Amino acid sequence: MKSIIDAQGWIDITTVLQNGMVNWPGDPAFRLEKIASIGNGDGVNISTISTCTHIGTHVDAPLHYFETGTDVISIPLENLMGAVKIILIHHKTEITIEEIRNYVINKGDRIIFKTKHSNQDWSLNPFDENLIALTTDAAEYLKQKEIILVGIDYLSISAMNNSKEIHQILLSSQICIVEGLNLQNIEPGDYELICLPLKIKNADGAPARVLIRCIK
Protein backbone atom coordinates (compact mmCIF):
# COMPACT_ATOMS: atom_id res chain seq x y z
CA MET A 1 0.00 0.00 0.00
CA LYS A 2 2.30 2.73 -1.27
CA SER A 3 1.59 6.42 -0.73
CA ILE A 4 1.18 8.43 -3.93
CA ILE A 5 2.84 11.85 -4.26
CA ASP A 6 1.64 14.25 -6.95
CA ALA A 7 3.49 17.10 -8.66
CA GLN A 8 2.37 19.59 -6.01
CA GLY A 9 3.73 17.48 -3.17
CA TRP A 10 0.39 16.14 -1.98
CA ILE A 11 0.63 12.64 -0.51
CA ASP A 12 -2.41 10.37 -0.60
CA ILE A 13 -2.70 8.63 2.79
CA THR A 14 -6.02 6.97 2.02
CA THR A 15 -6.39 3.21 2.41
CA VAL A 16 -7.52 1.57 -0.84
CA LEU A 17 -11.09 0.24 -0.74
CA GLN A 18 -11.15 -3.25 -2.23
CA ASN A 19 -12.83 -6.60 -1.91
CA GLY A 20 -11.29 -8.74 0.81
CA MET A 21 -10.05 -5.84 2.91
CA VAL A 22 -10.23 -5.93 6.70
CA ASN A 23 -13.26 -4.55 8.49
CA TRP A 24 -14.33 -4.10 12.12
CA PRO A 25 -15.66 -7.42 13.46
CA GLY A 26 -19.40 -7.66 12.88
CA ASP A 27 -19.55 -4.80 10.38
CA PRO A 28 -20.51 -5.51 6.76
CA ALA A 29 -17.49 -6.12 4.54
CA PHE A 30 -16.69 -3.87 1.60
CA ARG A 31 -17.97 -5.30 -1.67
CA LEU A 32 -17.62 -4.00 -5.21
CA GLU A 33 -19.71 -5.94 -7.71
CA LYS A 34 -19.90 -5.40 -11.46
CA ILE A 35 -23.48 -5.52 -12.71
CA ALA A 36 -22.82 -4.53 -16.32
CA SER A 37 -19.75 -5.37 -18.36
CA ILE A 38 -18.56 -4.32 -21.80
CA GLY A 39 -16.78 -7.67 -22.00
CA ASN A 40 -20.16 -9.41 -21.64
CA GLY A 41 -21.77 -7.34 -24.38
CA ASP A 42 -23.15 -4.48 -22.30
CA GLY A 43 -22.69 -0.93 -23.52
CA VAL A 44 -20.90 0.20 -20.35
CA ASN A 45 -19.24 -1.06 -17.20
CA ILE A 46 -21.34 -0.42 -14.07
CA SER A 47 -20.62 -1.53 -10.53
CA THR A 48 -22.41 -1.43 -7.20
CA ILE A 49 -20.80 -0.84 -3.82
CA SER A 50 -22.02 -2.17 -0.49
CA THR A 51 -20.23 -1.37 2.75
CA CYS A 52 -20.59 0.05 6.21
CA THR A 53 -19.80 3.73 6.72
CA HIS A 54 -16.73 2.92 8.84
CA ILE A 55 -14.55 1.11 6.32
CA GLY A 56 -10.96 1.87 5.37
CA THR A 57 -10.04 5.52 5.79
CA HIS A 58 -13.13 7.16 7.24
CA VAL A 59 -14.45 9.95 9.44
CA ASP A 60 -16.62 9.44 12.54
CA ALA A 61 -19.41 11.91 13.25
CA PRO A 62 -21.02 12.50 16.70
CA LEU A 63 -24.05 10.54 15.45
CA HIS A 64 -21.86 7.42 15.57
CA TYR A 65 -22.08 7.30 19.38
CA PHE A 66 -24.91 9.70 20.27
CA GLU A 67 -28.55 9.12 19.37
CA THR A 68 -29.14 12.82 18.66
CA GLY A 69 -25.59 13.59 17.47
CA THR A 70 -24.88 15.52 14.30
CA ASP A 71 -24.16 13.71 11.05
CA VAL A 72 -21.03 13.63 8.94
CA ILE A 73 -22.02 16.51 6.65
CA SER A 74 -22.38 18.75 9.71
CA ILE A 75 -18.66 18.55 10.49
CA PRO A 76 -17.16 21.97 9.69
CA LEU A 77 -14.91 21.71 6.63
CA GLU A 78 -12.38 24.04 8.25
CA ASN A 79 -11.80 21.38 10.90
CA LEU A 80 -10.94 18.86 8.20
CA MET A 81 -8.41 21.02 6.36
CA GLY A 82 -5.31 22.86 7.56
CA ALA A 83 -2.15 22.26 9.52
CA VAL A 84 -1.72 18.82 11.09
CA LYS A 85 0.94 17.24 13.29
CA ILE A 86 1.84 13.60 12.69
CA ILE A 87 3.19 12.13 15.94
CA LEU A 88 5.10 8.86 16.17
CA ILE A 89 3.95 6.59 18.98
CA HIS A 90 6.67 4.29 20.35
CA HIS A 91 4.50 2.40 22.84
CA LYS A 92 3.68 -1.06 21.46
CA THR A 93 0.23 -1.55 22.96
CA GLU A 94 -1.49 1.83 23.53
CA ILE A 95 -1.34 5.61 23.16
CA THR A 96 -0.66 6.88 26.66
CA ILE A 97 -0.93 10.30 28.23
CA GLU A 98 2.67 9.95 29.42
CA GLU A 99 3.93 9.68 25.84
CA ILE A 100 1.81 12.35 24.18
CA ARG A 101 2.66 14.85 26.92
CA ASN A 102 6.15 14.89 25.41
CA TYR A 103 4.78 16.72 22.37
CA VAL A 104 3.58 20.29 22.04
CA ILE A 105 -0.20 20.15 21.56
CA ASN A 106 -2.17 23.37 21.49
CA LYS A 107 -5.79 24.46 21.25
CA GLY A 108 -7.08 24.06 17.71
CA ASP A 109 -4.46 21.51 16.68
CA ARG A 110 -5.06 18.57 14.39
CA ILE A 111 -3.17 15.49 15.55
CA ILE A 112 -2.52 12.19 13.75
CA PHE A 113 -0.89 9.28 15.56
CA LYS A 114 1.45 6.95 13.67
CA THR A 115 1.83 3.60 15.43
CA LYS A 116 3.42 0.23 14.71
CA HIS A 117 0.40 -0.56 12.52
CA SER A 118 2.14 1.48 9.81
CA ASN A 119 5.02 -0.99 9.70
CA GLN A 120 3.00 -3.04 7.21
CA ASP A 121 0.02 -2.94 4.87
CA TRP A 122 -2.67 -3.93 7.38
CA SER A 123 -5.61 -3.48 5.01
CA LEU A 124 -5.57 -7.04 3.68
CA ASN A 125 -4.53 -8.74 6.92
CA PRO A 126 -6.91 -10.29 9.47
CA PHE A 127 -8.34 -7.86 12.03
CA ASP A 128 -5.86 -7.07 14.82
CA GLU A 129 -7.73 -7.32 18.12
CA ASN A 130 -4.69 -5.85 19.88
CA LEU A 131 -4.96 -2.56 18.04
CA ILE A 132 -3.02 0.39 19.45
CA ALA A 133 -5.52 2.91 20.78
CA LEU A 134 -5.99 5.87 23.09
CA THR A 135 -6.23 5.27 26.80
CA THR A 136 -9.04 7.05 28.64
CA ASP A 137 -6.75 9.60 30.28
CA ALA A 138 -5.04 10.30 26.95
CA ALA A 139 -8.44 10.98 25.36
CA GLU A 140 -9.34 13.29 28.25
CA TYR A 141 -6.00 15.06 27.80
CA LEU A 142 -6.71 15.74 24.13
CA LYS A 143 -10.17 17.00 25.08
CA GLN A 144 -8.65 19.39 27.63
CA LYS A 145 -6.20 20.61 24.99
CA GLU A 146 -9.19 21.48 22.78
CA ILE A 147 -7.82 19.93 19.62
CA ILE A 148 -10.21 19.79 16.65
CA LEU A 149 -9.15 16.57 14.91
CA VAL A 150 -7.45 13.31 15.82
CA GLY A 151 -6.42 10.57 13.42
CA ILE A 152 -5.02 7.05 13.65
CA ASP A 153 -3.43 4.49 11.32
CA TYR A 154 -5.87 1.66 12.05
CA LEU A 155 -9.61 1.09 12.04
CA SER A 156 -10.33 2.69 15.41
CA ILE A 157 -8.94 5.29 17.79
CA SER A 158 -10.19 3.12 20.67
CA ALA A 159 -9.64 -0.43 21.84
CA MET A 160 -12.41 -2.98 21.58
CA ASN A 161 -13.09 -2.97 25.33
CA ASN A 162 -13.69 0.79 25.67
CA SER A 163 -14.76 1.93 22.23
CA LYS A 164 -17.86 3.79 23.46
CA GLU A 165 -16.06 5.68 26.24
CA ILE A 166 -13.18 6.96 24.11
CA HIS A 167 -15.37 7.96 21.18
CA GLN A 168 -17.84 9.77 23.43
CA ILE A 169 -15.06 11.73 25.16
CA LEU A 170 -13.80 12.97 21.80
CA LEU A 171 -17.04 13.38 19.87
CA SER A 172 -18.80 15.16 22.73
CA SER A 173 -16.19 17.90 22.33
CA GLN A 174 -16.70 18.03 18.55
CA ILE A 175 -13.25 16.53 17.94
CA CYS A 176 -13.32 15.04 14.46
CA ILE A 177 -12.07 11.44 14.37
CA VAL A 178 -10.29 10.11 11.27
CA GLU A 179 -9.51 6.40 11.28
CA GLY A 180 -7.90 3.88 8.95
CA LEU A 181 -5.13 6.13 7.59
CA ASN A 182 -2.29 4.75 5.46
CA LEU A 183 0.90 6.11 7.05
CA GLN A 184 3.43 3.68 5.63
CA ASN A 185 6.62 5.57 4.73
CA ILE A 186 5.23 8.82 6.19
CA GLU A 187 7.66 10.64 8.47
CA PRO A 188 6.42 12.35 11.64
CA GLY A 189 6.26 16.13 11.39
CA ASP A 190 4.17 19.08 10.31
CA TYR A 191 1.93 18.84 7.26
CA GLU A 192 -1.05 20.40 5.53
CA LEU A 193 -4.17 18.24 5.57
CA ILE A 194 -7.16 17.78 3.30
CA CYS A 195 -9.73 15.29 4.59
CA LEU A 196 -13.00 15.05 2.67
CA PRO A 197 -15.59 12.48 3.78
CA LEU A 198 -18.38 11.58 1.38
CA LYS A 199 -21.32 13.97 1.69
CA ILE A 200 -23.98 11.54 2.95
CA LYS A 201 -26.99 12.98 4.76
CA ASN A 202 -27.81 11.45 8.15
CA ALA A 203 -24.65 9.32 8.07
CA ASP A 204 -22.84 8.49 11.31
CA GLY A 205 -19.58 8.42 9.37
CA ALA A 206 -18.25 8.15 5.84
CA PRO A 207 -15.25 6.96 3.87
CA ALA A 208 -12.86 9.82 3.12
CA ARG A 209 -10.05 10.74 0.74
CA VAL A 210 -7.19 12.16 2.79
CA LEU A 211 -4.14 14.04 1.52
CA ILE A 212 -1.18 15.63 3.30
CA ARG A 213 1.63 17.90 2.12
CA CYS A 214 4.82 18.64 4.02
CA ILE A 215 5.04 22.16 5.45
CA LYS A 216 8.41 23.57 4.40
Q: What is the pLDDT of residues 113-132, one digit of tens each?
A: 999 999 999 999 999 999 99
pLDDT tens figures, 150-195: 999 999 999 999 889 999 999 999 999 999 999 999 999 999 999 9
**How far, CA to CA in Å, does 139 sit from each of 76, 97, 142, 163?**
21, 8, 5, 11
Structural domains of the chain ordered from first start: 4-15+53-214 (3.50.30.50)
Give CA–CA dist 200/109, Å, rounded.
Answer: 26
Give CA–CA dist 148/171, Å, rounded.
Answer: 10
pTM: 0.94
H or E element in which residue 149 lies: strand 149-152
Position 76 confidence tier, pLDDT thresholds 50, 70, 90? very high
DSSP state of 28: P
Phi-psi region of 18 (alpha: psi -120 to 50; beta: other; left: phi over 0): beta
